[in-house]
Amino acid sequence: MKKFLAHYLLPHTGNNHRAKLLHNSTLIIIIAVLFSLSIFSMHERRIHPDILGISYSISSQELIELTNKARADSGLPPLSINQSLSTAAQAKANHMFSNNYWAHFAPDGTSPWYFIKNSGYGYVYAGENLAKGFTTSGDTVNAWMNSQSHRDNVLNKNYSDVGFAVVEGKLLGEDTVLVVEMFGSANTPAFAVAPQTQTPITTIVPTTPPENTVQGEQEEKIAEVEVIPTVLPVVPKVMAVVPQNSASFLSSVITKPVIDLQKVSGSIVFIIMLLFIVVLALDFAIIERKKIPRVVGHNIDHIVVIGLFVLLILLEKGGGILGL
Amino acid sequence: MKQKQLFEHHAFYFFELLMLLAGFFLIIIFSYSVIIQFMILMFVLMSYITLGFIHHHINHDLRAKIVLEYVLISSLILVAFLFLNSSRL
Protein backbone atom coordinates (compact mmCIF):
# COMPACT_ATOMS: atom_id res chain seq x y z
CA MET A 1 0.00 0.00 0.00
CA LYS A 2 2.81 2.35 0.93
CA LYS A 3 4.56 1.56 -2.36
CA PHE A 4 1.34 2.05 -4.29
CA LEU A 5 0.74 5.47 -2.73
CA ALA A 6 4.37 6.52 -3.28
CA HIS A 7 4.10 5.43 -6.90
CA TYR A 8 1.00 7.53 -7.48
CA LEU A 9 1.84 10.52 -5.33
CA LEU A 10 5.63 11.02 -5.38
CA PRO A 11 8.20 11.26 -8.18
CA HIS A 12 10.93 8.60 -8.20
CA THR A 13 12.85 6.42 -10.66
CA GLY A 14 10.03 3.82 -10.75
CA ASN A 15 7.55 6.31 -12.27
CA ASN A 16 10.05 8.15 -14.45
CA HIS A 17 10.44 10.96 -11.90
CA ARG A 18 6.82 12.08 -12.21
CA ALA A 19 4.06 11.08 -9.76
CA LYS A 20 1.88 8.55 -11.58
CA LEU A 21 -1.22 10.61 -10.80
CA LEU A 22 0.19 13.36 -13.04
CA HIS A 23 0.93 11.09 -15.99
CA ASN A 24 -1.18 11.81 -19.05
CA SER A 25 -2.53 8.25 -19.03
CA THR A 26 -3.82 8.64 -15.44
CA LEU A 27 -5.30 12.04 -16.26
CA ILE A 28 -7.23 10.51 -19.16
CA ILE A 29 -8.68 7.82 -16.85
CA ILE A 30 -9.75 10.39 -14.20
CA ILE A 31 -11.35 12.60 -16.88
CA ALA A 32 -13.21 9.59 -18.31
CA VAL A 33 -14.46 8.57 -14.84
CA LEU A 34 -15.64 12.11 -13.98
CA PHE A 35 -17.34 12.47 -17.36
CA SER A 36 -19.12 9.11 -16.93
CA LEU A 37 -20.22 10.15 -13.43
CA SER A 38 -21.63 13.42 -14.84
CA ILE A 39 -23.63 11.62 -17.53
CA PHE A 40 -24.79 8.98 -15.04
CA SER A 41 -25.95 11.54 -12.46
CA MET A 42 -27.72 13.69 -15.09
CA HIS A 43 -29.54 10.59 -16.32
CA GLU A 44 -30.37 9.14 -12.90
CA ARG A 45 -31.55 12.48 -11.55
CA ARG A 46 -34.30 12.55 -14.16
CA ILE A 47 -35.39 8.95 -13.57
CA HIS A 48 -35.06 8.81 -9.76
CA PRO A 49 -35.22 12.38 -8.44
CA ASP A 50 -36.21 11.04 -5.02
CA ILE A 51 -32.92 9.14 -4.77
CA LEU A 52 -30.47 11.39 -6.60
CA GLY A 53 -31.21 15.10 -6.75
CA ILE A 54 -30.80 18.47 -5.09
CA SER A 55 -32.01 19.09 -1.58
CA TYR A 56 -34.26 22.18 -1.66
CA SER A 57 -35.86 23.93 1.27
CA ILE A 58 -37.46 27.17 0.13
CA SER A 59 -40.87 28.24 1.34
CA SER A 60 -42.88 31.44 1.35
CA GLN A 61 -43.33 31.07 5.09
CA GLU A 62 -39.58 31.08 5.73
CA LEU A 63 -39.03 33.86 3.19
CA ILE A 64 -41.56 36.18 4.88
CA GLU A 65 -40.11 35.38 8.30
CA LEU A 66 -36.56 36.17 7.16
CA THR A 67 -37.69 39.27 5.26
CA ASN A 68 -39.55 40.59 8.29
CA LYS A 69 -36.64 39.75 10.58
CA ALA A 70 -34.39 41.89 8.35
CA ARG A 71 -36.96 44.69 8.48
CA ALA A 72 -37.34 44.38 12.24
CA ASP A 73 -33.54 44.64 12.61
CA SER A 74 -33.76 47.96 10.77
CA GLY A 75 -36.67 49.15 12.87
CA LEU A 76 -39.24 48.73 10.10
CA PRO A 77 -42.74 47.26 10.43
CA PRO A 78 -43.34 43.75 9.11
CA LEU A 79 -44.81 43.10 5.69
CA SER A 80 -48.06 41.18 5.35
CA ILE A 81 -48.42 38.31 2.95
CA ASN A 82 -50.90 39.43 0.33
CA GLN A 83 -52.83 36.94 -1.76
CA SER A 84 -53.01 39.19 -4.84
CA LEU A 85 -49.26 39.83 -4.79
CA SER A 86 -48.64 36.09 -4.37
CA THR A 87 -50.88 35.46 -7.39
CA ALA A 88 -48.92 38.11 -9.32
CA ALA A 89 -45.62 36.51 -8.29
CA GLN A 90 -46.88 33.09 -9.37
CA ALA A 91 -48.02 34.50 -12.74
CA LYS A 92 -44.63 36.17 -13.22
CA ALA A 93 -42.79 32.92 -12.43
CA ASN A 94 -44.99 30.96 -14.85
CA HIS A 95 -44.45 33.62 -17.53
CA MET A 96 -40.67 33.41 -17.08
CA PHE A 97 -40.69 29.62 -17.39
CA SER A 98 -43.03 29.53 -20.37
CA ASN A 99 -41.18 32.31 -22.23
CA ASN A 100 -37.73 31.18 -21.05
CA TYR A 101 -36.27 34.48 -19.81
CA TRP A 102 -34.50 35.72 -16.70
CA ALA A 103 -35.29 39.42 -16.35
CA HIS A 104 -37.75 41.83 -14.85
CA PHE A 105 -39.10 42.73 -18.25
CA ALA A 106 -40.13 39.94 -20.61
CA PRO A 107 -38.71 39.87 -24.16
CA ASP A 108 -42.16 41.01 -25.37
CA GLY A 109 -41.96 44.02 -23.02
CA THR A 110 -44.32 42.70 -20.33
CA SER A 111 -43.42 44.47 -17.08
CA PRO A 112 -43.71 43.16 -13.51
CA TRP A 113 -46.43 45.77 -12.91
CA TYR A 114 -48.63 44.06 -15.51
CA PHE A 115 -48.82 40.95 -13.30
CA ILE A 116 -49.54 43.01 -10.20
CA LYS A 117 -52.33 44.96 -11.89
CA ASN A 118 -53.76 41.75 -13.38
CA SER A 119 -53.95 40.20 -9.93
CA GLY A 120 -56.28 42.98 -8.85
CA TYR A 121 -53.81 44.66 -6.52
CA GLY A 122 -54.09 48.42 -6.93
CA TYR A 123 -50.66 49.65 -5.95
CA VAL A 124 -49.12 52.96 -5.14
CA TYR A 125 -45.63 51.57 -4.65
CA ALA A 126 -44.40 48.25 -6.03
CA GLY A 127 -41.14 46.39 -6.37
CA GLU A 128 -39.81 43.02 -7.39
CA ASN A 129 -36.93 40.81 -6.30
CA LEU A 130 -36.02 37.68 -8.23
CA ALA A 131 -33.75 34.80 -7.31
CA LYS A 132 -32.94 31.48 -8.86
CA GLY A 133 -30.60 28.60 -8.20
CA PHE A 134 -30.55 28.86 -4.41
CA THR A 135 -31.34 25.79 -2.31
CA THR A 136 -32.56 27.36 0.95
CA SER A 137 -34.72 30.31 1.96
CA GLY A 138 -31.81 31.60 4.05
CA ASP A 139 -29.40 31.67 1.09
CA THR A 140 -32.01 33.45 -1.03
CA VAL A 141 -32.71 36.23 1.49
CA ASN A 142 -28.99 36.54 2.31
CA ALA A 143 -28.23 37.06 -1.39
CA TRP A 144 -30.87 39.79 -1.55
CA MET A 145 -29.60 41.44 1.61
CA ASN A 146 -26.03 41.44 0.25
CA SER A 147 -27.06 43.35 -2.87
CA GLN A 148 -27.85 47.04 -2.46
CA SER A 149 -30.80 47.26 -4.86
CA HIS A 150 -32.47 44.13 -3.44
CA ARG A 151 -31.76 45.26 0.09
CA ASP A 152 -33.39 48.60 -0.71
CA ASN A 153 -36.52 46.72 -1.76
CA VAL A 154 -36.59 44.52 1.36
CA LEU A 155 -36.05 47.54 3.61
CA ASN A 156 -38.30 49.96 1.76
CA LYS A 157 -40.59 51.70 4.25
CA ASN A 158 -43.14 52.41 1.52
CA TYR A 159 -44.11 48.76 1.21
CA SER A 160 -46.68 47.13 3.44
CA ASP A 161 -47.45 43.91 1.54
CA VAL A 162 -45.49 41.17 -0.06
CA GLY A 163 -46.24 38.08 -2.14
CA PHE A 164 -44.00 35.14 -2.99
CA ALA A 165 -43.88 32.41 -5.58
CA VAL A 166 -41.44 29.51 -5.27
CA VAL A 167 -41.52 27.45 -8.46
CA GLU A 168 -39.35 24.61 -9.75
CA GLY A 169 -38.77 24.25 -13.49
CA LYS A 170 -36.38 24.47 -16.41
CA LEU A 171 -35.15 27.96 -17.26
CA LEU A 172 -32.49 28.85 -19.86
CA GLY A 173 -31.50 25.23 -20.21
CA GLU A 174 -31.08 24.42 -16.54
CA ASP A 175 -33.25 22.92 -13.82
CA THR A 176 -33.75 25.46 -11.11
CA VAL A 177 -36.02 26.87 -8.44
CA LEU A 178 -37.22 30.37 -9.15
CA VAL A 179 -38.24 32.71 -6.35
CA VAL A 180 -40.32 35.79 -7.18
CA GLU A 181 -40.90 38.35 -4.44
CA MET A 182 -43.41 41.11 -5.22
CA PHE A 183 -43.63 44.10 -2.90
CA GLY A 184 -46.44 46.55 -2.80
CA SER A 185 -48.36 49.19 -1.03
CA ALA A 186 -52.01 49.21 -1.93
CA ASN A 187 -54.31 52.09 -2.59
CA THR A 188 -57.05 49.83 -1.24
CA PRO A 189 -56.77 48.17 2.14
CA ALA A 190 -54.36 45.30 1.62
CA PHE A 191 -54.88 44.10 5.15
CA ALA A 192 -58.52 43.25 4.68
CA VAL A 193 -57.74 39.52 4.43
CA ALA A 194 -55.83 39.52 7.70
CA PRO A 195 -57.74 38.89 10.92
CA GLN A 196 -58.17 42.23 12.61
CA THR A 197 -56.89 40.89 15.93
CA GLN A 198 -53.44 40.28 14.42
CA THR A 199 -52.71 43.83 13.53
CA PRO A 200 -53.85 47.28 14.52
CA ILE A 201 -53.25 48.49 10.99
CA THR A 202 -56.85 48.04 9.95
CA THR A 203 -57.90 50.61 12.48
CA ILE A 204 -55.86 53.25 10.71
CA VAL A 205 -56.48 52.52 7.06
CA PRO A 206 -59.87 53.62 5.74
CA THR A 207 -61.93 50.58 4.84
CA THR A 208 -63.64 52.17 1.83
CA PRO A 209 -61.28 54.46 -0.02
CA PRO A 210 -62.91 56.96 -2.34
CA GLU A 211 -63.11 55.79 -5.92
CA ASN A 212 -61.17 57.43 -8.76
CA THR A 213 -58.72 59.03 -6.37
CA VAL A 214 -55.74 60.59 -8.05
CA GLN A 215 -52.22 59.32 -7.40
CA GLY A 216 -51.32 62.17 -5.07
CA GLU A 217 -54.23 61.46 -2.80
CA GLN A 218 -53.39 57.83 -2.67
CA GLU A 219 -49.89 58.62 -1.62
CA GLU A 220 -51.23 60.75 1.21
CA LYS A 221 -53.08 57.72 2.50
CA ILE A 222 -49.89 55.77 2.33
CA ALA A 223 -48.29 58.44 4.44
CA GLU A 224 -50.91 57.68 7.08
CA VAL A 225 -49.97 54.03 6.98
CA GLU A 226 -46.36 54.95 7.58
CA VAL A 227 -47.26 56.19 11.05
CA ILE A 228 -47.88 52.56 11.96
CA PRO A 229 -44.45 51.69 13.42
CA THR A 230 -45.34 53.59 16.56
CA VAL A 231 -48.40 51.38 16.98
CA LEU A 232 -46.83 48.06 16.10
CA PRO A 233 -45.00 47.27 19.34
CA VAL A 234 -48.44 46.58 20.78
CA VAL A 235 -48.23 43.26 18.87
CA PRO A 236 -44.95 41.74 20.10
CA LYS A 237 -42.85 39.30 18.06
CA VAL A 238 -45.12 39.26 15.02
CA MET A 239 -42.61 38.19 12.38
CA ALA A 240 -45.09 37.36 9.66
CA VAL A 241 -48.55 38.79 9.52
CA VAL A 242 -50.16 35.90 7.66
CA PRO A 243 -53.90 35.51 7.40
CA GLN A 244 -55.26 32.21 8.60
CA ASN A 245 -56.60 31.23 5.18
CA SER A 246 -53.26 31.92 3.53
CA ALA A 247 -52.11 28.33 3.06
CA SER A 248 -53.46 28.23 -0.48
CA PHE A 249 -51.10 30.95 -1.72
CA LEU A 250 -48.00 30.04 0.28
CA SER A 251 -45.80 28.20 -2.19
CA SER A 252 -42.74 26.15 -1.41
CA VAL A 253 -40.26 23.71 -2.90
CA ILE A 254 -38.99 21.24 -0.34
CA THR A 255 -37.20 18.15 -1.60
CA LYS A 256 -34.98 15.76 0.29
CA PRO A 257 -33.45 13.10 -2.00
CA VAL A 258 -31.54 10.18 -0.51
CA ILE A 259 -28.33 11.46 -2.13
CA ASP A 260 -27.84 15.21 -2.44
CA LEU A 261 -26.10 15.35 -5.81
CA GLN A 262 -24.84 18.90 -5.32
CA LYS A 263 -23.11 18.08 -2.05
CA VAL A 264 -21.72 14.73 -3.24
CA SER A 265 -20.34 16.08 -6.52
CA GLY A 266 -18.94 19.11 -4.70
CA SER A 267 -17.12 16.93 -2.17
CA ILE A 268 -15.71 14.55 -4.82
CA VAL A 269 -14.44 17.38 -7.03
CA PHE A 270 -13.04 19.27 -4.04
CA ILE A 271 -11.06 16.21 -2.84
CA ILE A 272 -9.73 15.40 -6.34
CA MET A 273 -8.61 18.98 -6.94
CA LEU A 274 -6.94 19.29 -3.53
CA LEU A 275 -5.13 15.99 -4.17
CA PHE A 276 -3.84 17.33 -7.48
CA ILE A 277 -2.60 20.55 -5.87
CA VAL A 278 -0.76 18.62 -3.13
CA VAL A 279 0.79 16.11 -5.56
CA LEU A 280 1.83 18.88 -8.00
CA ALA A 281 3.42 20.85 -5.16
CA LEU A 282 5.28 17.77 -3.83
CA ASP A 283 6.38 16.84 -7.35
CA PHE A 284 7.67 20.38 -7.93
CA ALA A 285 9.50 20.55 -4.57
CA ILE A 286 11.19 17.13 -4.89
CA ILE A 287 12.30 17.58 -8.52
CA GLU A 288 13.55 21.13 -7.88
CA ARG A 289 15.61 19.85 -4.95
CA LYS A 290 17.09 16.94 -6.91
CA LYS A 291 17.52 19.04 -10.08
CA ILE A 292 16.28 16.25 -12.33
CA PRO A 293 15.60 17.38 -15.93
CA ARG A 294 12.19 16.30 -17.30
CA VAL A 295 9.97 17.02 -20.26
CA VAL A 296 6.76 18.09 -18.47
CA GLY A 297 4.53 21.14 -18.15
CA HIS A 298 5.06 23.83 -15.51
CA ASN A 299 3.65 22.59 -12.23
CA ILE A 300 3.13 26.17 -11.06
CA ASP A 301 0.82 26.79 -14.05
CA HIS A 302 -1.28 23.79 -13.06
CA ILE A 303 -1.31 24.65 -9.35
CA VAL A 304 -2.51 28.19 -10.14
CA VAL A 305 -5.35 27.10 -12.43
CA ILE A 306 -6.52 24.25 -10.16
CA GLY A 307 -6.14 26.41 -7.03
CA LEU A 308 -8.30 29.16 -8.51
CA PHE A 309 -10.87 26.58 -9.57
CA VAL A 310 -11.05 25.31 -5.97
CA LEU A 311 -11.54 28.92 -4.86
CA LEU A 312 -14.34 29.21 -7.41
CA ILE A 313 -16.04 26.09 -6.00
CA LEU A 314 -15.91 27.61 -2.53
CA LEU A 315 -17.17 31.06 -3.57
CA GLU A 316 -19.75 30.17 -6.19
CA LYS A 317 -23.18 29.62 -4.69
CA GLY A 318 -24.85 28.73 -7.95
CA GLY A 319 -27.63 31.28 -7.70
CA GLY A 320 -28.55 34.55 -9.32
CA ILE A 321 -30.64 37.53 -8.24
CA LEU A 322 -32.37 40.45 -9.94
CA GLY A 323 -34.04 43.42 -8.27
CA LEU A 324 -36.33 46.19 -9.49
CA MET B 1 20.41 36.30 -19.50
CA LYS B 2 19.32 34.14 -16.61
CA GLN B 3 17.71 37.15 -14.94
CA LYS B 4 15.87 37.94 -18.18
CA GLN B 5 14.50 34.39 -18.32
CA LEU B 6 13.42 34.61 -14.69
CA PHE B 7 11.62 37.88 -15.43
CA GLU B 8 9.88 36.26 -18.42
CA HIS B 9 8.81 33.33 -16.22
CA HIS B 10 7.37 35.63 -13.56
CA ALA B 11 5.71 37.84 -16.17
CA PHE B 12 3.99 34.78 -17.63
CA TYR B 13 2.81 33.55 -14.25
CA PHE B 14 1.55 37.03 -13.39
CA PHE B 15 -0.29 37.39 -16.70
CA GLU B 16 -1.74 33.89 -16.33
CA LEU B 17 -2.92 34.68 -12.81
CA LEU B 18 -4.58 37.91 -13.97
CA MET B 19 -6.30 36.17 -16.89
CA LEU B 20 -7.55 33.32 -14.70
CA LEU B 21 -8.72 35.68 -11.95
CA ALA B 22 -10.67 37.77 -14.49
CA GLY B 23 -12.20 34.63 -16.00
CA PHE B 24 -13.21 33.08 -12.69
CA PHE B 25 -14.58 36.43 -11.52
CA LEU B 26 -16.79 36.50 -14.61
CA ILE B 27 -17.94 32.95 -13.83
CA ILE B 28 -19.08 34.11 -10.37
CA ILE B 29 -20.82 37.15 -11.90
CA PHE B 30 -22.73 34.92 -14.32
CA SER B 31 -23.70 32.41 -11.64
CA TYR B 32 -27.34 32.64 -12.75
CA SER B 33 -26.61 30.76 -15.98
CA VAL B 34 -24.58 27.57 -15.98
CA ILE B 35 -24.40 27.63 -19.79
CA ILE B 36 -22.77 31.08 -19.85
CA GLN B 37 -20.44 29.93 -17.05
CA PHE B 38 -19.48 26.87 -19.08
CA MET B 39 -18.70 29.01 -22.13
CA ILE B 40 -16.56 31.43 -20.09
CA LEU B 41 -14.71 28.50 -18.50
CA MET B 42 -14.00 27.02 -21.94
CA PHE B 43 -12.62 30.35 -23.13
CA VAL B 44 -10.48 30.74 -19.99
CA LEU B 45 -9.08 27.21 -20.34
CA MET B 46 -8.31 27.68 -24.03
CA SER B 47 -6.42 30.84 -23.09
CA TYR B 48 -4.62 28.84 -20.40
CA ILE B 49 -3.51 26.24 -22.98
CA THR B 50 -2.40 28.98 -25.38
CA LEU B 51 -0.37 30.72 -22.66
CA GLY B 52 1.28 27.42 -21.70
CA PHE B 53 2.05 26.78 -25.36
CA ILE B 54 3.68 30.22 -25.76
CA HIS B 55 5.54 29.92 -22.45
CA HIS B 56 7.12 26.59 -23.40
CA HIS B 57 7.78 27.74 -26.95
CA ILE B 58 9.77 30.72 -25.65
CA ASN B 59 11.67 28.36 -23.33
CA HIS B 60 12.42 26.09 -26.30
CA ASP B 61 11.01 23.03 -24.52
CA LEU B 62 7.68 22.71 -26.30
CA ARG B 63 6.74 19.06 -26.96
CA ALA B 64 3.49 17.39 -28.02
CA LYS B 65 3.43 15.60 -24.65
CA ILE B 66 3.50 18.94 -22.83
CA VAL B 67 0.70 20.40 -24.97
CA LEU B 68 -1.34 17.25 -24.24
CA GLU B 69 -0.68 17.73 -20.51
CA TYR B 70 -2.10 21.28 -20.63
CA VAL B 71 -5.09 20.05 -22.64
CA LEU B 72 -5.70 17.24 -20.13
CA ILE B 73 -5.45 19.52 -17.06
CA SER B 74 -7.93 21.88 -18.76
CA SER B 75 -10.22 18.96 -19.62
CA LEU B 76 -10.05 17.77 -16.02
CA ILE B 77 -11.30 21.18 -14.82
CA LEU B 78 -13.99 21.33 -17.49
CA VAL B 79 -15.27 17.85 -16.64
CA ALA B 80 -15.12 18.63 -12.92
CA PHE B 81 -17.26 21.72 -13.58
CA LEU B 82 -19.71 19.60 -15.58
CA PHE B 83 -19.94 17.08 -12.75
CA LEU B 84 -20.38 19.86 -10.19
CA ASN B 85 -23.30 21.23 -12.18
CA SER B 86 -24.83 17.92 -13.22
CA SER B 87 -27.64 18.64 -10.77
CA ARG B 88 -28.55 21.78 -12.75
CA LEU B 89 -28.29 20.41 -16.29
Is the model's pLDDT at B57 over the cut of 60?
A: yes
| Single-letter amino acid, residue A286 | I
Total domains in chain B come to 1
Nearest by CB to A312, from B24, B32, B61: name it. Answer: B24
CB contact under 8 Å between B32 and A24, yes or no, is: no
Say which residues have a Cβ less than 8 Å from residue A284's Cβ, sequence separation at least 6: A299, A300, A303
Cβ neighbours of B24 in A, within 8 Å: 308-309, 311-312
Higher pLDDT, B46 or A245: B46
Q: What's the pLDDT score for residue B9?
A: 76
Residue of B nearest to A101 (CA): B33
Nearest by CB to B86, from A24, A28, A261: name it. Answer: A261
CB A55 within 8 A of CB A139: no
> Which one-letter DSSP state was computed for residue A1?
-
Say which residues have a Cβ less than 8 Å from residue A26's Cβ, sequence separation at least 6: A8, A20
Q: What's the pLDDT score for residue A225?
A: 29
> Whole-angstrom Cα distance, residue A158 to residue A125?
7
CB contact under 8 Å between A297 and B73, yes or no, is: yes
Q: What's the pLDDT score for residue A223?
A: 29
Cβ neighbours of A317 in B, within 8 Å: 31
> Whole-angstrom Cα distance, residue A204 to residue A230?
12
> Whole-angstrom Cα distance, residue A113 to residue A118?
8
CB contact under 8 Å between A301 and B48, yes or no, is: yes
Residue A203 CB: number of other CB atoms within 10 A? 10
Question: Is the CB of A320 inside 8 Å of chain B's CB atoms?
Answer: yes
Digit-by-digit pLDDT tens for chain A (324 residues) are 888 888 899 998 888 899 999 999 999 999 999 999 999 988 888 888 778 777 788 999 899 999 999 999 999 999 999 999 999 999 999 999 999 998 899 999 999 999 999 998 888 899 999 998 888 899 899 989 988 889 999 999 999 999 999 998 888 888 888 999 999 998 755 444 443 333 322 222 233 333 333 223 233 333 222 322 222 222 223 333 344 444 556 777 777 777 888 888 889 999 999 999 999 999 999 988 888 887 788 899 999 999 999 998 888 766 666 655
> Whole-angstrom Cα distance, residue A75 to residue A59?
24
Q: What's the pLDDT score for residue A303?
A: 94
Q: What's the pLDDT score for residue A317?
A: 65
Q: What is the rounded radius of gyration, in angstroms, for the C-alpha atoms of chain B?
A: 15
In angstroms, what separates the C-alpha of B4 from chain A's closest C-alpha?
A: 18
Q: What's the pLDDT score for residue A85?
A: 93
> Whole-angstrom Cα distance, residue A208 to residue A196?
16
Residue of B nearest to A33 (CA): B79
Q: Is B62 exposed, middle or buried (0-12, 13-18, 19+ CB in 10 A)?
A: middle
CB contact under 8 Å between B79 and A306, yes or no, is: no
CB A324 within 8 A of CB A150: no
Bridge-based pairing of strands A123-132 and A174-186 is antiparallel
Q: What's the pLDDT score for residue A206?
A: 30
CB A130 within 8 A of CB A321: yes
Nearest by CB to B48, from A262, A268, A305: name it. Answer: A305
Q: What's the pLDDT score for residue A50?
A: 77
Range of the domain at B31: 3-88
In angstroms, what separates the C-alpha of A317 from chain B's closest C-alpha?
A: 8
Cβ neighbours of B20 in A, within 8 Å: 304-305, 308
> Whole-angstrom Cα distance, residue A42 to residue A31?
17
What is the reported pTM?
0.71
Q: What's the pLDDT score for residue B29?
A: 85
* Strand residue runs (E) in chain A: 52-53, 56-59, 80-81, 123-132, 161-171, 174-186, 252-255, 259-260, 320-323
> Whole-angstrom Cα distance, residue A151 to residue A143?
9
> Whole-angstrom Cα distance, residue B45 to residue B39?
10
Is the model's pLDDT at B10 over the cut of 70?
A: yes
Question: Is the alpha carbon torsion for A81, A86, A88, A92 positive or negative?
Answer: positive
Q: What is the ipTM, given to two decimal places?
A: 0.92
Q: What's the pLDDT score for residue A199?
A: 31
CB contact under 8 Å between B89 and A28, yes or no, is: no
Question: Is the CB of A23 inside 8 Å of chain B's CB atoms?
Answer: no
Residue of B nearest to A173 (CA): B89
